[in-house]
Amino acid sequence: MASFEYNGNPSRVIFGSGTLSTLAAELARLKVHTPLFLSTPEQQGSILELAKSLGAAADHVFSEATMHTPIHITEKALGVVNAFGVDSFVSLGGGSTIGLGKALSVRTGKPHICIPTTYAGSEMTPILGETVDGLKTTRRDLAILPTTVIYDIDLTLTLPAMMSATSGVNAIAHSVEALYAANKNPIVSVLALEGIRSLARSLPALVSLPSDIDARKDALYGAWLCGFCLGSVDMALHHKLCHTLGGSFNLPHAETHTIVLPHALAYNAPAIPEAMRKLAEVLPDSDGDAIKGLNLLLERLGVKRALKDFGLKEEDVAKAAEIALSKPYPNPRPLEKASIQELIRRAWAGDNARADL
């Protein structure tokens, strides 16, 4: 075994069914009394109900979280923090809401409790991606890591089938890149493979029967592991492309990850034979071919496969490649402009991924 370095991120996790009921005790444990409750506009009703159940006033709810954590939304929320003496944050939702909670927590030093309702995995990472003037940048700092994560399987039961599918593939992407990260290690790789296995098994079941509690449990468990992997090692080409497409072209986060993942894997395949072999072992019916396994999984899930369906124009392909290559993340295969542009074109068109880039 090669030498390696492993640093575990400190996390407190509460996992199960009905665990939302532990929130009051968790706030008391942290000795905070005036949280700001965060959500997207779509989950405003849920966050208002949660705040009300804890005796909080409606003006302690901020429901304007949005994709890619634009700085102007963070600044608006900070105005509420300063106006009402907020001493902590409670985020209920997916990556957009949790990202806002991270942005506020790291700026103020106040505790942040996450209650995920999707499989995004952001709650397990000390990573913050923010968008300023159409450019999304990321930074990594342990101060960004949420204080407590409350996973309540019951909160995922109403997550629509297609949102479950794309959110779950987004989580899989975190673990796929962890297998060949520049600072990969065998501990994280074991967790990454277990996370991928759990999600690849459970996501097709969820699409068929969204109320399947056992599949929901497996998916949330897998998402936890995948998020942990993302927070433990570096990102590579896949995440750089998705950050570029999301931040600069306003494409939806989970759907973009879902579409780009097999193409980014195909690009890196020649440089990562061992990771490809291990990945194929945990993808159903891959026949030893991880790219085939991913293509088949996306086909079974019935997700959209083309970035053009979400607003990317063909003339944007070259610009996206240029932005992604301007400040690249570490990657196992050197980045070749023509091939990266072709990768994005295939993702734009909705082609099946293939290993000829």
> For 248-259, what is each residue's pLDDT tens digit?
999 999 999 999
Q: What pLDDT does 136 receive?
A: 85
pLDDT band at 272 (very low <50, low <70, confident <90, very high): very high
* pLDDT tens column, 4-51: 887 778 889 999 999 999 999 999 999 999 999 999 999 999 999 999
Report the C-alpha dihedral over residues 243, 244, 247, 252, rounded to 10 degrees: -70
- Counting Cα atoms < 13 Å in the Cβ hemisphere of 242 gives 26
Backbone angles phi, psi at 298, to 5 degrees: -65, -35
Q: What pLDDT does 102 receive?
A: 97
In this structure, what token pair is assigned to residue 153? 């399987």
Of residues 147 and 3, the one with the higher pLDDT is 147
- CATH number for 13-156 (one of 1.20.1630.10, 3.40.50.1970, 1.20.1250.20, 1.10.3720.10): it is 3.40.50.1970
Q: What pLDDT does 337 receive?
A: 96
- Counting Cα atoms < 13 Å in the Cβ hemisphere of 104 gives 35
Average pLDDT, the chain: 95
Question: Is the C-alpha dihedral spanning 207, 210, 215, 221 positive or negative?
Answer: positive
Bridge partners (DSSP) listed for residue 13: 149
In this structure, what token pair is assigned to residue 180? 């060949």
**CA pair distance 331, 177, nearest whole angstrom:** 9
In this structure, what token pair is assigned to residue 279? 């990945």
CB atoms within 10 A of CB 108: 17
Domain ranges of the chain: 13-156, 161-349
Amino acid letter for position 78: L
Task: Tell me the CA end-to-end span of the chain in Å, nearest whole number.
Answer: 31
137-140: long-range contacts (C-beta < 8 A, 24 or more apart)? 137/243, 137/247, 138/235, 138/243
CATH architecture group of domain 161-349: Up-down Bundle (1.20)
* pLDDT tens column, 161-198: 999 999 999 999 999 999 999 999 999 999 999 999 99
* pLDDT tens column, 98-113: 999 999 999 999 999 9
- Which residue's structure tokens are 């342990």? 142
Q: What pLDDT does 1 receive?
A: 67
DSSP state letter for 331: -
